[in-house]
Structure 1
Amino acid sequence: MNHRYLILLLFIAGTLRASAQHYKYIDSTKIYGIDRYKRQVKANPDKQLVEIKKYIPEIILDLRYATGNNFMHRRMYTTGKAFARLPVVKALQQVEAELKGQGLGLKIYDAYRPYSVTVNFYEMAPDTNFVADPRKGSKHNRGCAIDLSLINLKSGTELDMPTGFDSFSRKAGANYMNLPPQQIANRELLKTVMAKYGFKVLSTEWWHYDFIGWAGYELMDIPVQSL
């Protein structure tokens, strides 16, 4: 093969690799892809994303972004599986165990979310009260945030909460008080139990909880179906 032609091919290949790793809003070196993630997990198993249902079989999944029933009105994931970092899931196990004693359980709307999906959300609805700023990334992109609600184990129905999931309204606020007493009581019960096991509610979304140790985990852009 002609030497100059070989150099040209190598240059093109390198350019394509670089463009594939480029991100519009953030330094690409801050985002972990599948290869970098696997190397990290090998060094520290606590960094692994694990399937929540395998650790908590009784948990209910209603993964809205794996369906068209969401504010984007289209599927954002091609699989109905939910993942989070291992310590996050272990903490959720404790939450679920305590709630079970009250005849209650958890329903999950979303967990780990690839960074590219966060970018799609922002470009559809650039209100950072409800959508993460892609310049910073989301705790979901770190595998350290869970969107969830409470259910009655016997009936399987959700407890009455201030709004539905992904409501872009003031009523969705974690401390909004102009609500029926039962909605406030249910929201506060969820908040109390989640806080006990290391989760903090997002002030603008009663359903969104960040794992308190989130800062020790990197942003990721790994498709859910690749996990």
Structure 2
Amino acid sequence: MKKTFFLLLVFLVISCKSTYLDAKKSPVLLDINKETDDNAFVNLKNYSNDFVFDMKYATTDNFLNEKVYPCGECFLRVKTVKSLLEANKAFLDKGYRIKLYDCYRPIAIQKKMWKIVPNPTYVANPKKGSIHNKGGAVDITLVDSAGNELNMGTKFDFFGEEASHNYLNLSEEILANRKFLKEIMLRHNFKSFDSEWWHYNLTNSSADAVSNQKWRCED
């Protein structure tokens, strides 16, 4: 009986540890190509200084009106980071860079979102899970060399037809900006999401497992 209890305790301790991702920053940039497990979760900030981060769910500036991430980290699977780095290089060559609003999202947060907006056009049903919950999705826009966001016609997380790639009643500038973002992302192993100009899924990432790992913030 004591042995069974001890083994159960060890299992619980290991399980608790495994549910957290480490947000500690590396003192030097790491090489994503040296990561051997494409499905492992890593922090994008450890692999590049060329992104802009505005992690909305680590603030109250989101449709939940609530801070639901402990801090603004961007965790993704290694294979997602590899493709995202290549896409950002393509943008950098043209004088722009990716600005991130959201990356990996624990399924517990997905459930909160679904309670507020139970509409699968805009929020994935947590019973199935979002690609965000699998570490294969990013919510992004572009900024120019001065850090100014390109005009995409709506704000991030705008729930309306104007946010759709199929909505064409927009200025030539907005349509060109959306096309620019979409074309380069599609060339680098991502798929667009029709109702949200900002949302991109890594190709074939839907087969990955949903995760509920959270992260501890660096002191």
- Fold match (TM-score > 0.5): yes
Instruction: Confirm whether residue 102 of structure 1 aligns to residue 94 of structure 2.
Output: yes
Pairing partner for 2:159 from 155, 168, 174: 168
- Output the TM-score relative to the length of structure 2: 0.83
Aligned mates of 1:91, 1:115 — CA distance in 2: 23
Q: Hey, what does 1:112 align to over in structure 2?
A: 104
Instruction: Confirm whether residue 35 of structure 1 aligns to residue 18 of structure 2.
Output: yes
Instruction: Confirm whether residue 77 of structure 1 aligns to residue 43 of structure 2.
Output: no
Query: Within 5 Å, which residues of 2 pair with 1:56-75?
Result: 56-75=48-67
Q: Contact (CA 8 Å) 2:70, 2:217: kept in 1 or not?
A: no
Query: Within 5 Å, which residues of 2 pair with 1:152-167?
Result: 152-153=144-145, 155-167=146-158
Evaluate the alpha carbon distance shift between residue 34 and residue 134 of structure 1 in structure 2; reply closer, same or farther with a 3 A threshold: farther
Kindly state the Cα deviation for residue 203 of structure 1 after the two structures are TM-superposed.
Answer: 0.7
Q: Hey, what does 1:213 align to over in structure 2?
A: 204
Evaluate the alpha carbon distance shift between residue 37 and residue 62 of structure 1 in structure 2; reply closer, same or farther with a 3 A threshold: closer
Q: Which runs of 5+ in 2 are unaligned?
A: 22-35
Aligned mates of 1:220, 1:149 — CA distance in 2: 25
Pairing partner for 1:149 from 141, 144, 163: 141
Greater fraction of residues in helix = 1
Evaluate the alpha carbon distance shift between residue 175 and residue 56 of structure 1 in structure 2; reply closer, same or farther with a 3 A threshold: farther
Aligned mates of 1:162, 1:139 — CA distance in 2: 24
Q: Hey, what does 2:175 align to over in structure 1?
A: 184
Q: Hey, what does 1:27 align to over in structure 2?
A: none
Q: Hey, what does 1:20 align to over in structure 2?
A: none
- Structure index of larger Rg: 1
Kindly state the Cα deviation for residue 35 of structure 1 after the two structures are TM-superposed.
Answer: 3.1
Instruction: Confirm whether residue 92 of structure 1 aligns to residue 75 of structure 2.
Output: no
Kindly state the Cα deviation for residue 36 of structure 1 after the two structures are TM-superposed.
Answer: 7.8
Secondary structure, counterpart of 2:97 in structure 1: strand
- Seq. identity, %: 33
Aligned mates of 2:129, 2:60 — CA distance in 1: 23
Secondary structure, counterpart of 2:147 in structure 1: coil
User: Which AA in structure 1 matches 2:37?
Assistant: P
Secondary structure, counterpart of 1:91 in structure 2: helix
Secondary structure, counterpart of 2:178 in structure 1: helix
Q: What do residues 169-212 of structure 1 show as CA deviations (whole Å, max 9, x unaligned)? A: 11011221000110000001000000000101111100000000
User: Which AA in structure 2 matches 1:35?
Assistant: S
Report the number of matched residues: 196
User: Which AA in structure 2 matches 1:54?
Assistant: N
Superposed CA RMSD in Å reads 2.4
Aligned mates of 1:157, 1:216 — CA distance in 2: 36
User: Which AA in structure 1 matches 2:170?
Assistant: L
Evaluate the alpha carbon distance shift between residue 45 and residue 182 of structure 1 in structure 2; reply closer, same or farther with a 3 A threshold: same
Evaluate the alpha carbon distance shift between residue 81 and residue 152 of structure 1 in structure 2; reply closer, same or farther with a 3 A threshold: same
Q: Which runs of 5+ in 1 are unaligned?
A: 18-31, 39-43
User: Which AA in structure 1 matches 2:42?
Assistant: V
Aligned mates of 2:128, 2:16 — CA distance in 1: 17
